[in-house]
Every structure is written in structure tokens, then in C-alpha cells.
């Protein structure tokens, strides 16, 4: 039975769908991080060369959303969700069969094209069903639930790599995509009814994106969230080199480190809607950006001689800030654009993955140790995000 927009209760089934769709990209990336040394040895490439599997994923993820979002506004969410999950599963299968780096990168690009559709539509579906404070709460709970998959996936990835080999990790995420598709069909189905869809003849995607990209109601909060999310993905990209090469952790210890960060995201996700209800979304979002900046700057203090404790403390501060600004900034950006939720969500996703691609690329290109490169990226991203968000925080609500 299709869900109409009037049905605004966040059930467990809807939460599972939103969290699964939004976490799919991070899950597909994080689960393979502990296996990088074995993947490199198997394919005869270095860990630095394997960075191409991350940057190519981010680029394809970014651009793919620009098409998926507006198409879902015209034709509805259902077939875009199912098609995206099918493409994602096919990409995972190709990655599992890869015997060269080029073949693996191709599989990762296909994975990204499917995952980006799932990610952009998770936000669009949330906007279909919720508005205002309920939307912020739905996004916060989605982030909490969705953090479990990317947070624990390195631990699962290290176990799978040790027991069954790195290829099995790709099969596991492909299977998860199929489970999400079945759950969507049985429990949720279409959330964007015909009477709310954009008319195909009137759709001018380029000009619509142009208007949205120059609207400060969208651009300022979306850019601030995207810069912080870009920093988060840079943490994912650099963590194996920092923790396994610089600090000598094992793959299992790397996975355990990622798993403990889930608690921080859980705490921030629970706090965000409650604090926003009391102090306002913009004020709490600003506080989140200050925490993220503190994390980036603290990374600088120990960049010359990092330790596991200093790295963990800096990332914890950054994650706490991310957990506050992400759901609240996203809700602020999407709130004025209910009829264009797919398009707005797509542009937001493009900005996020664009920042992720730039952050990961700069981190690998800088002539610095990985920990110092990460300090530069996190500090720069959070400082820019704070400056961009200040007009939003200072603007009076109408």
C-alpha cells in the first residue's frame, strides 16, 4: 500500500529503510577498508593506488545523484529505488569477481551509481513524509540507525577478510541491497503520489538546479553540511594509512576503532532534535560546527607525532559536531522545497560527495604524512562550513 504524505508516523519499518538507504554508500566503502592490504597484495597494487577505488566511487556517487533526484520528482520514488538497489547489487558482484584494479574500479563506479540513487531518495522519502521539527527528528534518528552500518562494517569487513577473503565483503553488501529492495516493496512502497509530482514537460533540470544552487535558503546550510560530510569521508579514506601504517594497528583493531565511534554519533543524534526543540535548529547547528572545528584543530596539535588516543579524541570531537549539524542543516536546507525534494536532495548529495572526493584527493596529494593531511582537510572544511553557516544562524526566522 503506497504511503501518502499525510502518514507522518516514523515507524520501525520506515526508519530501517531510510537508515539502510542513506548508509549504503558508507557501508560499501567502510567494509573494505581493513582489507586494503590484502586487496593490494591480491591485485598487485599499492594502498595508495587503491585510493582510486574511493575517489572514483565518490565522483560517480556525486554526479549520479543529479539525475536520480529530479527523475524521482517526475516519476516517483519506487522504480528509482528498486533500480538503484539492483545496480548496486550488480556492482558489488563485479567487485567480488575483479582480478585487476581497473575491473575493481569499474565495479566500484557501478556500485556508486546504485548507492547514490538510494542515498538521494532516502532524504527525498523523509521529506515526502515529514516536515519541520518532525523532519529534523526523522533525519536524526535515521543518522543514528544508519551509523551502525558504516560504524561496525570495518569490524565485519576484517572478520570476513580473515575468514572468507576480501571478495566476500562485496557479496555481503550486495545481499544487503537486495534485502532493502524487498523491504521497500513489502513495507513502504511509493511515497511521492502522482498529484505531487513535477510535470515532465515543464521540467528544465539545468535551470532548476541553477535556481536552487543560487537560493541562499538551500545553498548555505547545504554547503556547510556538505563540507563536514566531506571531512568525514576523508577520515574514512585516510584512517587505514594512519591507524595501520603510522600507528601499527591490525585490521581487527581498525574495525574496533570505527565501531566505538558509533557511540558518539548515537549520542549526537539523540541530542540534536532535543536541543533543537529547546534552542532552535540554527543555534544547535552552529554549536555542532564549533565542535567539528575543535576536532580539526586538535588534530593539528598532534599531527607531528600522532598517537591512538590523540587521533581518537580529535575524531570524536569532529563526529560529535557532525552528528549535530548533519540532520539539522539538512532539515533547514530541504524544508522550503517540499515539491522539489528529490531535486534538492540530489543537489545536496552532489555537494556532499563532491566535498568528499576533493577531501580524499587532496589528502592523498598533499606532500605530508596522512595524519597531517587529515588535519589540514578537517580544519579547512570545518572553518569554511562555519563561515558559510553564520548567515543562516544569524538570520531571523519568519
- Residues 343-393 have pLDDT tens digits of 787 888 888 888 888 887 787 777 888 888 888 999 999 999 999 999 988
Alpha-carbon span 318 to 378, nearest angstrom: 8
Stronger pLDDT, 87 or 136, i.e. the higher one: 87
* Residues constituting the chain: 398
Q: Classify burial at 210, counting beta carbons within 10 Å of its beta carbon; exposed 0-12, middle 13-18, buried 19 or more.
A: exposed
Alpha-carbon span 272 to 319, nearest angstrom: 13
Q: 231-251 pLDDT, tens per residue?
A: 888 887 787 778 877 788 777
Closest to 322 in 3D by CA, of 80, 146, 96: 146
50: Cβ–Cβ under 8 A, 6 or more apart, which residues? 36, 39, 40, 101
Using an 8 Å Cβ cutoff, are 141 and 14 in contact? no
* Cα 393–Cα 343–Cα 7 angle in degrees, nearest 5: 85
Unique residue bearing C-alpha cell 582489507: 35
Closest to 65 in 3D by CA, of 221, 217, 209: 209
Domain covering 12-193+216-393 in this structure, CATH number: 1.20.1250.20
What angle, 0 to 180 degrees and rounded to 10, lies between the N-to-C axes of helices 167-183 and 132-163? 150
Model confidence at 182, pLDDT cuts 50, 70, 90, reads very high
DSSP H helices in 130-250: 132-163, 167-183, 205-213, 216-239
Alpha-carbon span 261 to 270, nearest angstrom: 15
pTM of this prediction exceeds 0.85: no
Q: 130-163 pLDDT, tens per residue?
A: 776 777 777 777 766 666 776 777 777 888 877 8
Using an 8 Å Cβ cutoff, are 23 and 150 in contact? yes
Unique residue bearing C-alpha cell 560504524: 151
Amino acid at each position: 500500500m503506497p504511503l501518502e504524505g499525510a502518514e507522518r508516523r516514523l515507524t520501525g519499518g520506515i526508519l530501517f529503510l531510510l537508515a539502510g538507504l542513506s548508509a549504503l554508500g558508507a557501508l560499501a566503502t567502510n567494509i573494505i577498508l581493513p582489507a586494503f592490504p590484502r586487496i593490494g597484495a591480491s591485485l598487485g597494487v599499492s594502498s595508495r593506488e587503491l585510493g582510486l577505488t574511493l575517489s572514483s566511487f565518490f565522483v560517480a556517487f556525486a554526479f549520479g545523484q543529479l539525475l536520480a533526484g529530479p527523475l524521482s520528482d517526475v516519476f516517483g520514488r519506487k522504480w528509482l529505488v528498486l533500480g538503484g538497489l539492483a545496480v548496486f547489487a550488480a556492482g558489488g558482484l563485479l567487485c567480488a569477481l575483479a582480478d585487476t584494479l581497473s575491473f575493481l574500479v569499474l565495479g566500484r563506479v557501478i556500485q556508486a551509481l546504485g548507492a547514490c540513487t538510494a542515498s538521494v531518495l532516502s532524504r527525498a522519502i523523509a521529506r515526502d513524509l515529514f516536515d519541520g521539527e518532525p523532519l529534523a527528528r526523522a533525519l536524526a534518528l535515521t543518522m543514528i540507525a544508519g551509523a551502525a552500518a558504516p560504524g561496525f562494517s570495518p569490524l565485519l569487513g576484517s572478520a570476513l577478510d580473515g575468514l572468507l577473503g576480501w571478495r566476500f565483503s562485496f557479496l555481503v553488501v550486495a545481499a544487503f541491497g537486495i534485502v532493502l529492495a524487498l523491504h521497500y516493496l513489502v513495507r513502504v512502497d511509493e511515497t511521492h503520489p502522482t498529484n505531487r509530482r513535477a510535470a515532465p514537460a515543464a521540467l528544465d533540470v539545468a535551470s532548476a538546479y541553477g535556481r536552487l544552487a543560487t537560493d541562499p535558503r538551500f545553498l548555505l546550510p547545504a554547503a556547510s553540511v556538505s563540507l563536514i560530510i566531506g571531512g568525514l569521508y576523508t577520515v574514512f579514506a585516510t584512517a587505514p594509512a594512519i591507524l595501520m601504517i603510522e600507528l601499527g594497528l591490525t585490521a581487527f583493531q581498525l574495525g574496533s576503532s570505527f565501531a566505538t565511534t558509533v557511540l558518539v554519533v548515537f549520542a549526537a543524534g539523540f541530542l540534536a532534535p532535543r536541543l533543537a526543540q529547546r534552542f532552535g535548529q540554527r543555534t544547535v547547528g552552529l554549536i555542532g560546527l564549533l565542535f567539528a572545528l575543535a576536532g580539526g584543530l586538535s588534530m593539528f596539535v598532534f599531527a607531528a607525532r600522532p598517537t591512538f588516543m590523540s587521533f581518537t579524541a580529535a575524531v570524536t570531537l569532529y563526529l560529535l559536531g557532525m552528528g549535530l549539524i548533519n540532520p539539522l542543516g539538512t532539515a533547514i536546507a530541504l524544508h522550503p522545497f517540499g515539491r522539489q525534494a528529490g531535486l534538492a536532495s540530489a543537489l545536496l548529495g552532489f555537494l556532499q560527495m563532491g566535498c568528499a572526493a576533493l577531501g580524499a584527493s587532496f589528502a592523498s596529494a598533499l606532500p605530508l604524512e596522512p595524519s597531517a593531511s587529515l588535519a589540514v582537510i578537517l580544519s579547512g572544511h570545518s572553518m569554511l562550513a562555519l563561515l558559510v553557516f553564520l548567515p543562516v544562524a544569524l538570520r531571523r526566522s519568519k
